[in-house]
Every structure is written in structure tokens, then in C-alpha cells.
Structure 1
Amino acid sequence: MSTKHPPRSSTPTPLSARLASHPHGAPASAAGKHPAPPCTLVIFGARGDLTQRLLMPALYNLVVDGLLDSGMKIIGINHGERETQAWCEDLHDALQKFAADKASTFHAGKLDDNAWNWVAQRLQYMAGEFEDDDVYQRLAQQLGGNGRDGAQGNVVFYLAVGARFFKPIVERLGKAGLLQQSADDSGPFRRVVIEKPFGSDLASARDLNQHVLSFVNESQIYRIDHFLGKDTVQSILAVRFANALFEPVWRREYIDSVQITASEVIGVESRGRFYEQTGALRDMVPNHLFQLLCMVAMEPPNSFDAETVRNKKAEVFDAIKPLTPDDVVFGQYGKGPAGAAYRDEPDVAKDSRTETYAAARVRIDNWRWAGVPFYLRTGKRLTARHTEISVQLRSVPFRLFRDTPVDALTPNVLTLRIDPTHGTSFDFNVKTPGPVMQIGAVHSSFDYDDFFTEHANIGYETLLYDCMLGDQTLFQRADSIESAWAAVDGVLHPKDGSAVRVHEYAAGSEGPAEAQALLARDGRAWRALTPGESRKS
């Protein structure tokens, strides 16, 4: 059973026409939006993977949508000598390949020369080591500094670098006067974008926050989580608060449990060295999965003002009961139908105990969610790729159907599909045709593609645009970062000093059997990952 709707008939204005109509050669802005204010984007890590795969494609899409001002400039900083033209060519080649491989995230599925030229004209490369003070003096000159003020105009500093460079870069930016802005925010802005990880445990997160906030204030820091840039993630709030059907039952009296899944079919690929130091829990749970949990569990905000929304999220983090080793299951993929074992991956220790799978039972100790378990799982080399949230409602009393051929009633489940398909589905019960009261389970769903024109989106466009506008709604705050790490610190550092056991699972499976046992203790089960199989609990 599915809900269909014809795609919108309106056709977007061709890019060439939009470019031609703009006085500065940039396209007209997307409907209902205006270009971000002019600024200089300084990218530390200009030649890194993040810049090529995510930042530049997102900037390109913003250009196509007409959301960047003609005064935009982009300065890339990286170690190693490189001419600006050569850097441009590297980015162009990467974008062309990306456009061919990721047609659904690129306008028209190919690179438009006019839009790329608009970007290329604004690129400038600067060679230098991130911990060299001279780099920041040269950067100040590039930004129009006059010796008293480290820069002229609006500036966004994007730290697309390893976590070890966060503190030294922010410190040197501060000492060079590059982060100074007026106390009342009336002058040019200075903003710093920091990628995850925001620490590796509670102590390191506190240390990072303390160090960074000694050079900038909280309003200048944009801690970015690309999950929050996904339209389907932002839509969670719309589903909850824009529909009278859902919010009245969005509480412990009606909801039995919530499952949040982020499964991948790929392994660690070339990230073995990084993953050995990180693992699935650190990589996904305190950030991505907890952010999804907050979107599901937060109280209704009075408005979508940034601090109002972030305050409601902070309340959820504060209410999470700290996890213990009994609340989690770790797994590591071994050799299986999907490929080699984790320990056979490049840069992975042959005796590694790093988890590539993590499942957790989370309790939220507040009035709305008392007694409702949130089950989180994430893993690599699993049987299918799914990022979704399944909200299972409580079962209705069976007494009414006790004298009919009904053995059990299928629970109602609302599933919000985030990746790779985008949409919502609902499992519920109806009477089957015939003279006997026989109950049958049905499945109703909608896909975004059936209702809305496809829109190119890497996941960073909204986040970059909001940063330039100064909207921190989708960015994490220091207190929430620390609360998230506090919730898992007892698992990372058990009081008795013992490590959580890591169970093996076959590559291509649904994870370790012990993860099923985690839910079985509560009389529940994970929803199936395998495409085509029943997705019912």
C-alpha cells in the first residue's frame, strides 16, 4: 500500500539563463531565499579529502542555487607548495568525477562550466604549515589586515583538518587578531567551523571546548555535524510538530520503543589508521545517532530560533541516563559473504579489538520518555545500508479479538527513512476481505521523489549557508557536546577498568547475535536490515 502524488510540474529556470540574468554572473537565488552576505571562506586543509568530496561540491551547488554573494572569496591553506591554478585544476577534476558518480547530488548530474568558472575566479591557494605563526601573518595580509585589525570584512574559517590541529589553529588565529569582532556583532563577523570529532571522550571534549572558547565566544563557533544538513533529518521536526496526528501520541503512554539505525555495507576502506583510534561508538553514537535521538525526543520549542531549539536539545542530553557496559554490545566484522575481516584491512592491527559495530540501549529520564527504551545501532560491513528511525507504538489490548482467528496483532510502526531512500512509512492493521474477522498487516509509505522535485544536496549546503547567515540552529553547542560524551564515558572508561567485550560477526550479516540478545532481554527485537525481508518487529 503506497501513497503516490505526481511530481511538481514546474520546471526550474535553466542554469545558463539564471547565470546570464545575474549582474555579477551568479545565478538568481532559489525561491524564498536570498544570497548569504559577502565573506571570505578560509579553508584549512584545502587539498584534503573533505574539501574535495564535500565542501567544494556543496559550494558549487550553492552557486547554482544563487545563494552565494558575488563578493565571495575562497582562500585554501595546506602544506606543500602549489600554484592556485593547479589547485583549481585539482578541484575541477575531482568535481567532474564526483558529478559523474553522484548524479543525484549534483544539478543535471554534470559539471556546468559557467558555475565552475564563477567558483574558480574566487579561489586562491596559500602554502603553509598549520602550526607556523608566519602563515597567520600572511593570511592577515591576504584578508586586508592593517596591523591593528587582523582582517577586513566577513570571514569564515573552516577547519577541514585532523582533530589534532583544532586547538593550534584556533589559538594562532586568535593571537593574530583574526577572530576579533565587535562585542555587539554590529561589524564584520568572524566564525570558526570545526568538524567532528569534538574530542574522543568527556575529558578531551572539555579540554577542547575550554581551549577554543578562550579565543572566541560560543556565538562564533560552528561545530558541524553533516547529518543535520540532510533534508530528511530536518524533516523530523516537521513531521512531529506540523501534524496534529503525531504529536499527541509522541510520549510514553503510546510509544513502546524507538529504534535508530545507521548501517553501512562498506568496511573501513582506506581509513584503517583513523578507525583503529576511534571505533564505531566514538565515530557515530555521541554525535550522529544522539543528534537523531534529540530530534525525536526533544520537547516542542516555542520557535525555531537557534538558541530555543538548542536549549530543547540540551534538555534531552541532560536527561540521558549514563550508559553502562551492560547497555551496549560491540562487534567487529570477520570474514564473510561481503568480504575480508576487519583485521585484514590496511593499517589495522592483526589483534585489533576495535569495534566496527555498536548497539546501545538508551534511557531518557524525563516525564515524556520515562520507561521508553531508545535502541541505537551502527555498524560497517552489514547486510544493507539504512539510516532510519522506527517509532513503535504500544500494542492495543488483544481481548477484543480473542475469539477470532487472530494469533497476534502487528504493532504500529512509524519509520522515518533518512538514507539511502528518503520518505516515511507506517505499519498498521486492517480487516482482510471475507466473512471472518481476520486481521492483516499493511504498509503505507511515501517517498520524497513522488511529491517533490529532486534537489541537488551533498548535505553541507544548508550548513555552509546557515553559517554565513549566522544561524546556529543546526550546529552543536559546547554544553551538549560534553553531555553527549558524559553519557557514554562509562562505556569508554568502565569503573572497574575492564574493556567491553567485542564480538565477531560475519561481513555481510546483520551484526553480532549478542545485539539481538540485548533487545531480547526486554522482550523486543531489531527490525530486519535485509531488503525484501519483513521490516516488522
Structure 2
Amino acid sequence: MAASGRARSMSGTIPSMETAHEELKDNTVIVVLGASGDLAKKKTYPALFNLYKDGLLPKDVHVVGYARTKMDDAEYHKRITSYIKGTEDPETAKKLEEFKGLASYISGGYEDAPSFQNLNNHIEKIESSYEDKERNRLFYLALPPSVFIPVAQHLKEECYSKGGKNRIIIEKPFGKDLESSRQLLGALKRYWSENETFRIDHYLGKEMVKNLLVLRFANVALSAGWDKNSISNVQITFKEPFGTEGRGGYFDEFGIIRDVLQNHLLQVLSILTMERPVSFSAEDIRDEKVKVLRAIPPIERNDTLLGQYVAANGKPGYLDDDTVPHNSVCPTFAATTLWIHNPRWEGVPFILKAGKALNEAKVEIRIQYKDVTQGIFKDISRNELVIRIQPSEAVYLKLNTKLPGLNMRAVTTEMDLTYKRRFADAKIHEAYESLILDALKGDHSNFVRDDELDVAWKIFTPILHWIDGKNGPSPKPVPYPYGSRGPKELDAFIAKYGYVRTETGYAWPVTHVSSL
């Protein structure tokens, strides 16, 4: 009993985040628009099923798929369950059959009112079985941005529940630059209020990104050195081991900066660097994120390195993709350095790096501390705090310690919190599961607010216009081989911002989690 009590006393409770809306607990129809697309079948429907399996969706929930594609229920059910895992388990298979029973489909266009009137009739037929008068609707737009505005308009005019709560989830990209983003925001606000709108960036739903709030503000040992006095530089890295592989047409329109840096990595940066919020309420958190983003000036050209992968290791180059324009200068790799002009971070470079067709899959934050005071130590490695967002979630701190033995020799090692070992029995929910649940609860904490999006585009728009050739010729990205670490110029690029690579042969032993 004593041990049990001691364990309880050592755990902390985080106050529930305040919500701007009431939770949708029952009488709810979830409409997935774009139900025939890749995003819906790979992410949205698996997330909805896992929430259903865990009993986290509203009571008597129904899921309605909507898209242009004409298909019967059998084809629809086959498509939406094709990426659901664990169906060999009898209990999961049973739940899947139940899920199919509450999932229906209707086809229609995205720009004509009669199609949405037909959708509304379908929803009302489902709602007729609800005993209570309240009718709640959650609309998930798994759609390209080109149809956001007409869909949002028709949903409001033809499918808006008059007797319940309505919410709309919108996927990125939210525009292509500051001007287009403002046009999109303005058009959407004519139909949907900010409280009803949930702009989803799935990185905000990842376990390790949400953990940043606790790591930063619940640990004096870390927060005491979380500033320019102790930290030399910070890198936030996103690496994919595959290229566009036939999907280059879409990618070429946006590029790696719009695809990853301006949203995913900037969101991570804002949580990593913001000041302590006064509470865990959604608006208090987002207020602090906006404050720190406003302290970041637009990115300079000389703080940018652009790359494009070429054929190597038996893999085709970006320009070998038939869907890519033959003379495209679209970057598939980018490293940009941001500066935060406030008392905490003045002078600390924040290097955001993202690329396709690299040597591994990895997303991590690497905080490198300044050199130890010289004197009794010489050429000793710097401390580094590394937060591995995916895969193999972990937090580890690189330290110098005495090598056991008779000699006084320092060696680099780590204090390692690898989630698969420490929390072996814990289930880490997928980001989309977490965010859909937040939208059902009405919690905006992990969604992008309108002014936050506006500031983010201000930071990146000048460099994007340069890349797009709007202010002269477009820069030509440097080539890098498929399967490499990126452009050969990368090491010199990050070195000029003070990053010192460990030369002792140290490597974090990530391979030890692969068998777990």
C-alpha cells in the first residue's frame, strides 16, 4: 500500500484544457467529404474506426462519406477499411463489422447546391432515428483547397443543422502565400465562425509535440536553461526516405517548404519557444504561440539552402517523374534558419530542415547547448537534448561522463527515455485520432487559429515568392543523390550557425528499440 501511495503522489495531474464548445456526446453525424481519396482511406477512416473501437466516438454516431466517385456500399466499405490494421483479431474484426454498419456513402458534386441538398436529405434520414431533438454535425474536408470555399458555402447553406452544433475541419494547405491565405480565410469566415472552424495540422496531434508543453513547463531542471544563455542552436528536422513516385504533379505545385516547413515544423517551433501560458485553455496557448511567431522576421535568402534529389542507388530523380515538369526547379529539400527577436531567444539560430528521398525516416528536435567553460576540459563534446517525434518516440540528453576505469577520461553517453521501453504497455494514439477527438470535444488547443496562420505566412511568403520567380529568376536547387543525407552543402550550412558535430564516433543506439 505504501508503494502504491508513493507512486500516486509522484505523478502529476494536468488540469483539463478548457473548451470553447460543449462536447458532442451523442446524436452526431460525421461527414467525410473527399471520402474516396487517399487522405480519407489512409488517415481519416482508420482514425475514426480506432476511436469507435475504443468507445470514444459519440453515442449512436454515424459516419457519412461524400465524394464525386460513384460506388455502392460494398466498394465504399472495402475502400474505407483497406488501411485499418489489426483485423486478424476477432474482437477488432467484430468492431469493424459494426463500424461498417454505421458508415454510409452518397456521391455528389462539390460546387452545386442540389448535390448538397441530397446530402442533407441523407443526413436527415439518419437523424430521424435519434430520440432527442439535438442534431450535431461534424464536417471533415479531406479535400484539395481548390474546393474549400464552395464546399464550405454549400455545407452552411444546405447542410447546416438548425437544431444542434456544427463544426468543420479543414486540412492544409491553407493557401499558397499570405495573400491567398487571407482570401481563403476571409471567404470561409463568411460562412463559418472561428469557433466552428478547426484547421488541422496533424503534427499538433503527435504525442511528442503535445509532450513539449509538459517537458518545458513542468521541469525546472530543463526550463532553467531554456534560453539564449545556455543554448547555442536548435535544429528541427523532417526526413522522408522516398520521393514523389508518380505524385510529383501535386507536389510540384507546392514544394517542400509549403508542404512541411511553413506548417508542421513551424508549429513545432512555436511550442518549443513560446512563453509559459497562463492556463491550458486553447486561447491562452494559442496567444503565446502567436506572440513568439510575431517576433520572427521574414526568412532571408542567405539563410536558405534548397536542394532537389537526382537519380541514385537505383532510384529515379525528381525530374524523372513523368508528372513533374521537365525543367522544374521545385525544391524537394530545404533548410531555412529563423531568428526570434525577443529577450529569451535573441541570437539563437533555429534551423528547419525537411527533405524527400533521404537516407531515413525521422522527425526530431535537436537542441545543442553552448561549450562548457574551458580550463580543466579541452575539446569536450557539447550537451544535446534530442526529442524524437517519430519513429520510436524518445527524449534523450547527451552528457559527458567519466569512463569507468583508472584513467580520468570523459566519454559521451545519454540519459535515455525511449517510450517503447519506459511505457511498454501504453497506447500512443495516432495524431488524427487525437485531433478528431479534440474537434468533437470542441477543444481548439491543437488547431491553428486564423491570426497564427497569418503570421506564419508573413514569415515564409517572401522566400516563397523568390522560389516561385515572382521577384526575378527562380533559384536553382542544388542536386543531392536519392538516399543521401541531403545536399553536400548542408554540413557547411548548419556549421555557419554554430552547430558543432560530435567527432567522437558517438551515436544514439536507436537500433535497440527495433525489436520491441
Give the Cα separation in 2 of the matches to 1:240 and 1:108: 41
Deviation at 1:438, TM superposition (A): 2.5
1:252 corresponds to: 228
With over 3 angstroms needed to count, the CA separation of the structure-2 counterparts of 1:482 and 1:107, relative to structure 1, is farther
Question: What do residues 156-201 of structure 1 show as CA deviations (whole Å, max 9, x unaligned)?
Answer: 111111110101101222233x3466xxxxx621111000101111
Alignment counterpart, residue 207 of structure 2, candidates 195, 208, 231: 231
Deviation at 1:110, TM superposition (A): 8.2
2:16 corresponds to: none
Secondary structure of 1:284's counterpart equals helix
With over 3 angstroms needed to count, the CA separation of the structure-2 counterparts of 1:180 and 1:365, relative to structure 1, is farther
Give the Cα separation in 1 of the matches to 2:78 and 2:483: 38
2:291 corresponds to: 315
CA contact (8 A) 2:364 2:387 kept: yes
Alignment counterpart, residue 141 of structure 1, candidates 121, 129, 137: 121
With over 3 angstroms needed to count, the CA separation of the structure-2 counterparts of 1:63 and 1:503, relative to structure 1, is same
Give the Cα separation in 1 of the matches to 2:284 and 2:314: 45
Give the Cα separation in 1 of the matches to 2:331 and 2:259: 10
Deviation at 1:202, TM superposition (A): 0.9
1:118 corresponds to: 98
Alignment counterpart, residue 349 of structure 1, candidates 299, 313, 325: 325
Give the Cα separation in 2 of the matches to 1:84 and 1:487: 46
Question: What do residues 62-97 of structure 1 show as CA deviations (whole Å, max 9, x unaligned)?
Answer: 1121101232011111113222343123323x14xx
Q: How does 1:243-322 map to 2 (within 5 A)?
A: 243-322=219-298
Give the Cα separation in 2 of the matches to 1:87 and 1:442: 52
Give the Cα separation in 1 of the matches to 2:393 and 2:291: 28
Give the Cα separation in 1 of the matches to 2:111 and 2:24: 34
1:506 corresponds to: 481
2:133 is the counterpart of 1:161: no
The Cα RMSD (Å) is: 2.6
Secondary structure of 2:94's counterpart equals helix
CA contact (8 A) 2:414 2:508 kept: no
**Aligned AA (1:344):** D
Deviation at 1:248, TM superposition (A): 1.2
Deviation at 1:268, TM superposition (A): 1.1
Deviation at 1:258, TM superposition (A): 0.7
Question: What do residues 232-251 of structure 1 show as CA deviations (whole Å, max 9, x unaligned)?
Answer: 21111111112221111111
Deviation at 1:479, TM superposition (A): 0.9
With over 3 angstroms needed to count, the CA separation of the structure-2 counterparts of 1:297 and 1:262, relative to structure 1, is same
CA contact (8 A) 1:319 1:366 kept: yes
Q: How does 1:516-527 map to 2 (within 5 A)?
A: 516-525=491-500
**Aligned AA (1:65):** D
2:308 is the counterpart of 1:336: no
Deviation at 1:111, TM superposition (A): 7.8
Secondary structure of 1:398's counterpart equals coil
Give the Cα separation in 1 of the matches to 2:90 and 2:222: 40
Deviation at 1:455, TM superposition (A): 1.6
TM-score by length of 1: 0.84
2:15 corresponds to: none
Give the Cα separation in 1 of the matches to 2:335 and 2:303: 8
Alignment counterpart, residue 58 of structure 1, candidates 47, 68, 71: 47
Alignment counterpart, residue 392 of structure 1, candidates 345, 353, 368: 368
Alignment counterpart, residue 221 of structure 1, candidates 197, 210, 222: 197
With over 3 angstroms needed to count, the CA separation of the structure-2 counterparts of 1:342 and 1:292, relative to structure 1, is same
Gaps spanning 5+ residues in structure 1: where?
1-7, 9-33, 100-105, 182-186
CA contact (8 A) 1:516 1:525 kept: no
Question: What do residues 413-439 of structure 1 show as CA deviations (whole Å, max 9, x unaligned)?
Answer: 000011111111111111233454322
Alignment counterpart, residue 442 of structure 1, candidates 396, 413, 429: 413
Give the Cα separation in 2 of the matches to 1:295 and 1:432: 36
Alignment counterpart, residue 68 of structure 1, candidates 39, 53, 57: 57
With over 3 angstroms needed to count, the CA separation of the structure-2 counterparts of 1:252 and 1:204, relative to structure 1, is same
2:451 is the counterpart of 1:479: yes
Give the Cα separation in 2 of the matches to 1:393 and 1:273: 41
Deviation at 1:225, TM superposition (A): 0.8
Give the Cα separation in 1 of the matches to 2:236 and 2:340: 14
CA contact (8 A) 1:306 1:472 kept: yes
**Aligned AA (2:486):** G
Give the Cα separation in 1 of the matches to 2:313 and 2:91: 37
**Aligned AA (2:395):** T
2:155 is the counterpart of 1:173: yes
Alignment counterpart, residue 303 of structure 2, candidates 304, 327, 330: 327
CA contact (8 A) 1:44 1:158 kept: yes
Secondary structure of 2:220's counterpart equals coil
CA contact (8 A) 2:233 2:497 kept: no
Alignment counterpart, residue 381 of structure 1, candidates 353, 357, 360: 357
Secondary structure of 1:219's counterpart equals coil
Give the Cα separation in 2 of the matches to 1:80 and 1:242: 49
With over 3 angstroms needed to count, the CA separation of the structure-2 counterparts of 1:533 and 1:441, relative to structure 1, is closer
CA contact (8 A) 1:50 1:160 kept: yes
CA contact (8 A) 2:28 2:138 kept: yes
CA contact (8 A) 2:232 2:498 kept: no
Question: What do residues 467-487 of structure 1 show as CA deviations (whole Å, max 9, x unaligned)?
Answer: 011001100011111111110
Residues matched between the structures, number:
478
Which stretch of the first structure deviates more once superposed, 465-474 or 110-119? 110-119
2:173 is the counterpart of 1:197: yes
2:441 corresponds to: 469
Which stretch of the first structure deviates more once superposed, 132-141 or 293-302? 132-141
Give the Cα separation in 1 of the matches to 2:501 and 2:443: 37
**Aligned AA (1:64):** K
Deviation at 1:449, TM superposition (A): 1.2
TM-score by length of 2: 0.87
